[in-house]
């Protein structure tokens, strides 16, 4: 998440992932307030054992795209309704990525779908998750 204030939007994603037995780590890594830490996280996430990154951000919402630019992992972006534009600014920022830097963009506040997309990605190589999705 780009900010602590994003957690109420993302809490349903954490709950959904845990319902499927997926290990979850929720942390704040801001593209604007702590860019060095954000870049380090993105660069090392795959080697640290992460398989998918769900990145939520509001306003300018640079976090998902910046993470996608430095990792080979799938990045799922969740626009957070954090400004007077009610998330439309974040949605457009996350969706308008240049060629070669893909972010799977969810609906504004689409935390549950982000979690389900992550589960589907993980289920490609995890038969137990695939079976859970089929139920």
| Tally of domains in the chain | 1
For tokens 């830490």, what's the residue? 37
The range of the structural domain enclosing residue 87 comes to 4-134
* Residue ranges of the chain whose pLDDT lies below 70: none
User: For the domain that residue 107 is a member of, what is the CATH number?
Assistant: 3.40.50.1970
Question: Among residues 117, 107, 135, 100, which one has the least CA distance to residue 51?
Answer: 117
pTM beyond 0.85, yes or no: yes
Half-sphere exposure at residue 1, Cβ-oriented, CA atoms within 13 angstroms: 21
Q: State the pLDDT at residue 1.
A: 83
CA 91, chain centre distance (Å): 13
Can you say whether residue 84 is alpha, beta or left, with left for phi > 0 and alpha for psi between -120 and 50 degrees?
Answer: alpha
């Amino acid at each position: 998440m780009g900010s602590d204030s994003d957690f109420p939007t993302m809490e349903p994603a954490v709950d959904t992932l845990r319902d499927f037995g997926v290990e979850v780590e929720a942390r704040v890594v801001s593209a604007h307030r702590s860019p060095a830490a954000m870049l380090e996280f993105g660069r090392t996430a795959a080697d640290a054992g992460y398989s998918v990154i769900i990145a939520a951000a509001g306003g300018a919402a640079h976090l998902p795209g910046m993470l996608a630019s430095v990792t080979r992992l799938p990045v799922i972006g969740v626009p957070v309704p954090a400004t007077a534009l009610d998330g439309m600014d974040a949605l457009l920022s996350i969706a308008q990525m240049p060629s070669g830097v893909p972010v799977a963009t969810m609906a504004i506040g689409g935390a549950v779908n982000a979690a389900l997309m992550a589960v589907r990605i993980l289920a490609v190589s995890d038969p137990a998750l695939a079976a859970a999705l089929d139920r």
